[in-house]
Amino acid sequence: AFASSNPHEDFLQCLTLNSTNDTSISQVVYTPANSSYSYVLDVSIQNLRFLTPDAPKPLVIVTPVDVSQVQTTVYCSRKYGLQVRMRSGGHDYEGLSYLSGVPFVILDLVNLRTITVDAGNATAWVQSGATVGELYYRISEKSMTLGFPAGVCPTVGVGGHFSGGGYGMMLRKYGLAADNIMDAQVVDVNGKLLDRKLMGEDLFWAIRGGGGNTFGVVVSWKIRLVPVPETVTGFAVLRTLDQNATSLVNKWQFIAAQELPDELYMRVILQSYNGADGNRTIQAIFQTLYLGEADELLDVMGSSFPELGLTREDCIEMPWINSTLYFTGFSGQPLEILLNRSSNTKSYFKNKSDYVKKPISEPVLEEIWKWFFKADQGALQMILNPYGGRMSEISESAIPFPHRAGKIYMIQHITAWNNGSVEESAKGISLIRSLYGFMAPYVSKSPRSAYVNYRDLDIGINNEFGNTSYRQASIWGTKYYNRNFDRLVRVKTAVDPSNFFRNEQSVPPLTSW
Ligand code: FDA
């Protein structure tokens, strides 16, 4: 074939020439000339901030139906100098799976979502394009006493989620999703398909939390399923300032990570609300999963947190799989809703994360409430996620995710707004940046830690063109990975020295200090 002056024409031709599969690759390739292009591009975009006509668009979207097509896509994009952005569930907070400043291809794994559950051995193979909702559903088809400790939102994609850690309501009992990975299949920069044995322990370490779009395309994961009791209990108890929300949140900080049993995950959602009297108040919602029955839970709460005033009526007993619906507001709906990939959570948002090592005092909590009062109703939310339990037992270097013993909880700061106007967006972003500035004295320092799955480009980025030095990348890299950043750089340098797989916050190979 003649090389044309158009890299994406060459790329398309390369795909066809190298296609070995029965399904012709042309059936899974979308260019702007294709009538389905916009649908395929937009359908999994979660953050509506990036669903705009002037957002950069991919030259081509490829949605492989088998692994050989992933290999071909990597081979051809590298050959013709097109950047690849992999996308699984499209939930990246900064849209990095479908936006780029340079000519790019989206490798969308939506069609690779086979899940094979081996209940007897309590393991499963799950392809990256599956959502965690699909995974939970397939597990429950085989067993009601097995589960998996991954995210709360059912539409989150396994590919990005496991690549950054991944946690949900069983974090304290079983750790992260990435802590429970036993093997994986990765297409590397040369288009080779590697399993754990072939890739070696360094690369296998790096893909379990070292961030997506960096080390290769993870096409599937072997996971260890975890035991769950036949009956679990959930509650969501709401308290306002008049109902002692401040002192309850204060007390929660001392017990949620350090005193409560690992089976009990109690997080706090903070938001503000205009009461019937027109006055603004804070609502603290104590949202809880207990891996056991309500009577036991009432005993534990009665001795550790009687101030909350939990009653039997607050408690809902259910199978574990139903709790995955309960925490996303789908209670009472058929379980099949977990298979629905189209999300009800799309919004315009900008989020950030922080880690807390020492409880925040009541006077400071009261200062925090003022931020909610200043913001529009509903514009601001904070979710306090307790750590401790299993999280404190796993060493900081076991996988790249370093936030373990000594971190008592993670805060997710959330601002969301209702329309795409420049003003609304500027207002939301400025609000959360100022709040983040205010929080600095009360959270982890040097580095100010952050969770890579709550991606935040404000904390530092790579150079768009050219090399990013170790020093520059370590600004954001140590916040996400702390001391594990160095090992990630070494792995990256070994497996992808030309930095083919990259984005604004991918670990760079070592070119200069
Ligand atoms: P997406 O497809 O956008 O990918 C994210 C990143 O991974 C991108 O850089 C992408 O290129 C890369 N990537 C994707 N597939 C890959 C693959 N196969 N191989 C290598 N790299 C790949 N988190 C959490 O821990 N617990 C929770 O409960 C929630 N809940 C939640 C709710 C909602 C509404 C949102 C929007 C997000 C969350 N998250 C979360 C955060 C979530 O874990 C994070 O955004 C994940 O990276 C999303 O993975 P996706 O595959 O959906 O995203």
Provide DSSP, 377-397. Answer: TTTEEEEEEE--THHHHS-TT
Q: What confidence score (pLDDT) does residue 18 get? A: 86
Q: How far apart are CA 450 and CA 435, in angstroms?
A: 15
Tell me how far the alpha carbon of residue 44 lies from the centroid of ligand 1, in angstroms.
Answer: 11
Asked if residue 334 is part of any domain, the answer here is: no
Query: 50 is written with which tokens?
Result: 């990036």
**295: buried, middle or exposed (CB in 10 Å: 19+, 13-18, 0-12)?**
exposed
Q: What confidence score (pLDDT) does residue 511 get? A: 80
Whether residues 392 and 413 fall in one domain: yes
Provide, rounded to the nearest whole percent, the portion of the chain with pLDDT above 90: 90
Whether residues 186 and 212 fall in one domain: yes
* Mean pLDDT computed over 166-190: 98
Q: What confidence score (pLDDT) does residue 1 get? A: 42
CATH number for the domain including 19? 3.30.43.10
Cis amide prior to 386 (ω within 30 degrees) = no
Whether residues 94 and 199 fall in one domain: no
Q: How far apart are CA 472 and CA 399, in angstroms?
A: 23
Query: 371 is written with which tokens?
Result: 């931020």
Whether residues 368 and 288 fall in one domain: yes
Whether residues 221 and 239 fall in one domain: no
* Mean pLDDT computed over 261-287: 94
Whether residues 125 and 71 fall in one domain: no
CA-closest residue to ligand 1 atom 16: 159
* Mean pLDDT computed over 176-186: 98
The best mutation among 42, 43, 74, 92 to test binding of ligand 1, ranked by most ligand atoms within 8 Å of the C-beta, falls on: 92
Position 254 confidence tier, pLDDT thresholds 50, 70, 90: very high
| Predicted confidence (pLDDT) at residue 5 exceeds the cutoff of 80 | no
Evaluate the CA torsion angle 283, 284, 289, 290 in order and state its sign: negative
CA-closest residue to ligand 1 atom 25: 166
Q: Which of 69, 101, 109, 71 is nearest to 83 (CA)?
A: 101
Tell me how far the alpha carbon of residue 14 lies from the centroid of ligand 1, in angstroms.
Answer: 30
Q: How far apart are CA 257 and CA 244, in angstroms?
A: 21
Q: What confidence score (pLDDT) does residue 24 get? A: 79
* Mean pLDDT computed over 341-350: 86
Query: What's the whole-number average pLDDT of the chain?
Result: 95
Provide, rounded to the nearest whole percent, the portion of the chain with pLDDT above 70: 98
Q: What confidence score (pLDDT) does residue 23 get? A: 67
- Domain span at residue 305 reads 232-318+347-442
| Predicted confidence (pLDDT) at residue 465 exceeds the cutoff of 90 | no
In this predicted model, which residue has the larger pLDDT, 251 or 329?
Answer: 251
Query: 362 is written with which tokens?
Result: 């009541």
| Predicted confidence (pLDDT) at residue 290 exceeds the cutoff of 70 | yes
* Mean pLDDT computed over 86-108: 97
Whether residues 175 and 308 fall in one domain: no
Position 21 confidence tier, pLDDT thresholds 50, 70, 90: low
* Mean pLDDT computed over 322-339: 95
Residue that is last in its domain, among 164, 194, 227: 227
Spell out which residues line ligand 1, taking CB within 6 angstroms.
46, 85-93, 96-97, 109, 128, 151-153, 156-157, 159-161, 163-164, 166-168, 212-213, 217-218, 345, 453, 503
Under 8 Å between Cβ of 89 and 159: yes
Q: What confidence score (pLDDT) does residue 345 get? A: 78
CATH number for the domain including 182? 3.30.465.10
CATH number for the domain including 397? 3.40.462.20
ipTM reported for the complex, 2 dp:
1.00
Tell me how far the alpha carbon of residue 350 lies from the centroid of ligand 1, in angstroms.
Answer: 15
Whether residues 16 and 141 fall in one domain: no
Ligand 1 nearest atom to the CA of residue 453, by list position: 44
Q: Which of 423, 420, 443, 441 is nearest to 431 (CA)?
A: 423
Ligand 1 nearest atom to the CA of residue 95, by list position: 3
In this predicted model, which residue has the larger pLDDT, 369 or 512?
Answer: 369
Catalytically annotated residues: 454
The pLDDT tens digits of the residues spanning 404-431 come to 999 999 999 999 999 999 999 999 999 9
In this predicted model, which residue has the larger pLDDT, 26 or 300?
Answer: 300
Burial 298-333 (b: 16+ CB within 10 A, else e): bebbeebbeebebeeebbebbbbbbbbbbbbebeee
Residue that is last in its domain, among 85, 110, 135: 110
| DSSP letter for each residue of 84-126 | EEEESS---TT-TTT--SSSEEEEEGGG---EEEETTTTEEEE
Asked if residue 361 is part of any domain, the answer here is: yes
Which segments within 347-487 are labelled E, that is strand?
Answer: 348-356, 380-386, 409-417
Q: How far apart are CA 16 and CA 461, in angstroms?
A: 35
| Predicted confidence (pLDDT) at residue 208 exceeds the cutoff of 50 | yes
Residue type, 289: L
Tell me how far the alpha carbon of residue 351 lies from the centroid of ligand 1, in angstroms.
Answer: 14
CA-closest residue to ligand 1 atom 34: 345
Q: What confidence score (pLDDT) does residue 512 get? A: 63
What 8-state DSSP symbol labels residue 507?
A: P
Burial 71-91 (b: 16+ CB within 10 A, else e): bbbbbbbbebebbbbbbbbbb
Residue that is last in its domain, among 68, 90, 110: 110
Ligand 1 nearest atom to the CA of residue 343, by list position: 34
| Predicted confidence (pLDDT) at residue 474 exceeds the cutoff of 50 | yes
Asked if residue 405 is part of any domain, the answer here is: yes
In this predicted model, which residue has the larger pLDDT, 2 or 141?
Answer: 141
C-alpha distances in Å from residue 480, one per residue of 32, 204, 271, 483: 36, 18, 26, 9
Position 513 confidence tier, pLDDT thresholds 50, 70, 90: low
Q: How far apart are CA 327 and CA 384, in angstroms?
A: 15
Burial 428-445 (b: 16+ CB within 10 A, else e): bbebbeebbeebeebbbe
Asked if residue 398 is part of any domain, the answer here is: yes
* Mean pLDDT computed over 28-32: 96
Whether residues 105 and 149 fall in one domain: no
Number of domains the chain contains: 3
Whether residues 270 and 375 fall in one domain: yes
* Mean pLDDT computed over 436-461: 98
Whether residues 298 and 423 fall in one domain: yes
Asked if residue 500 is part of any domain, the answer here is: no
Under 8 Å between Cβ of 489 and 478: no
The pLDDT tens digits of the residues spanning 41-93 come to 999 999 999 999 999 999 999 999 999 999 999 999 999 999 999 999 999 99
* Mean pLDDT computed over 214-231: 98
Asked if residue 183 is part of any domain, the answer here is: yes
Whether residues 45 and 159 fall in one domain: no
C-alpha distances in Å from residue 193, one per residue of 141, 188, 427: 30, 7, 46
C-alpha distances in Å from residue 29, one per residue of 33, 62, 63, 307: 11, 5, 7, 58
Asked if residue 1 is part of any domain, the answer here is: no
Tell me how far the alpha carbon of residue 81 lies from the centroid of ligand 1, in angstroms.
Answer: 26
CA-closest residue to ligand 1 atom 43: 161
C-alpha distances in Å from residue 334, one per residue of 139, 165, 289, 439: 16, 29, 20, 41
Asked if residue 507 is part of any domain, the answer here is: no
